[in-house]
Amino acid sequence: MGAYILRRLLLMIPTIIGIMGISFLVIQFAPGGPVEQVIAELTGQGNSATERISGGGDFQNQPTATGGEDFSSKYRGAQGLDPEFIAKLEKQFGFDKPPLERFAQMMWNFIRFDFGESYFRDVTVIDLIIEKMPVSISLGIWILLISYIISIPLGIRKAVSDGSRFDIWTSGVIIIAYAVPGFLFGIMLIVVFAGGSFFDWFPLRGLVSENFAELSWWEKIIDYFWHLTLPLISLSLAAFATTTLLTKNSFIDEIRKQYVMTARAKGLTERQVLYRHVFRNAMLIIIAGFPAAFITAFFSGSLLIETIFSLDGLGRLGFESVVKRDYPVVFGTLFIFSLMGLVVGLISDLIYTWVDPRIDFERRDV
């Protein structure tokens, strides 16, 4: 197993470089970079693209080019701006260097976990991610727990009563819930329960109330879940569908195997057969996939849900960073999440071998 782990760790290096390299290459051809964002705001063509340029100065009322010099060959909207000012912007954002050199410098910094500062916010990328993480943690962790708490018992019950009326109508409910977009259901919840047209029972903005610090500990808990109720309901519609059906199919597959018939022939009750023999084998794929599901729920923010319920999480951070061309945030988060995804994939394989010692990855090609 040690050799397998070492090979997987070594393979992470070219994988990370490939992911970052392809993303960096795509960005080179994307129009409207940070320099263009600043130019657009200065010339009145942008929508307040920048709030603050880190390390920069006052870019208002910048000098214009003289003598009819045209500096529009490289940046759209740069006509009339002083070439020295454009060069200053390029140097500030690091675009005065060749792309290959910029990529190498970026990867060297990322290897040392130095992700730099946001272009348009006076804060480091790590601090920005930490600032937005409570919302994503709250949504991700609770959705994961709710989906597993519901999915596993429901999947087992559906497998045991396969083809029954209960199995049929629950399958119908699951399929319908999976098909309904979460953001659409969220809008309906707002209209009905958040002061839209009927009831005003739940808040519409933020993760906690403005007076959260003044509340007692038990009032803080109530206030926290009060704000999370509608977003969690919106996200949980489709969250448990896949795990439920996966659990059901896994149990059905195991129930039909020969060792189950042998256990029944020995006089074991159905409960003993199900939870002493079938459960461990059937839950192999569910347990092994838990780390990946945990990290996915932990870090993947739902942009639409966060927008609808005014939650400032990682989903909105990623979207706004791409729109503003805030490359340190875009590449920093991509590197962190890609690395964690690769590590979690390795952990999932190790859990496979822990749950079922018959699995030996060292005998297989990586």
The most confident of 3-12, 28-37, 343-352, by mean pLDDT: 3-12
Residue 20's pLDDT band, with cuts at 50, 70 and 90, is very high
User: What pLDDT does residue 77 have?
Assistant: 52
For the stretch 129-152, pLDDT in tens is 888 888 888 888 888 888 888 888
The partner residues of 194 in beta bridges, in order of sequence, read 200
What is the number of residues in the chain?
Answer: 366
Q: How far apart are CA 109 and CA 20, in angstroms?
A: 13
Select from 221, 361, 185, 232 the least CA-distant residue to 288: 361
Q: How far apart are CA 239 and CA 229, in angstroms?
A: 15
Residue 285's pLDDT band, with cuts at 50, 70 and 90, is confident
Q: How far apart are CA 114 and CA 116, in angstroms?
A: 6
* Helices 34-42 and 83-93: angle between axes, nearest 10 degrees: 140
How high is the mean pLDDT of the chain?
78
- Structural domains for the chain: 32-114 (no CATH), 126-363 (1.10.3720.10)
Phi, psi of 3 (to 5 degrees): -65, -40
Q: How far apart are CA 13 and CA 20, in angstroms?
A: 11
Q: How far apart are CA 100 and CA 117, in angstroms?
A: 21
For the stretch 149-187, pLDDT in tens is 888 899 889 988 888 999 999 999 888 888 888 888 888
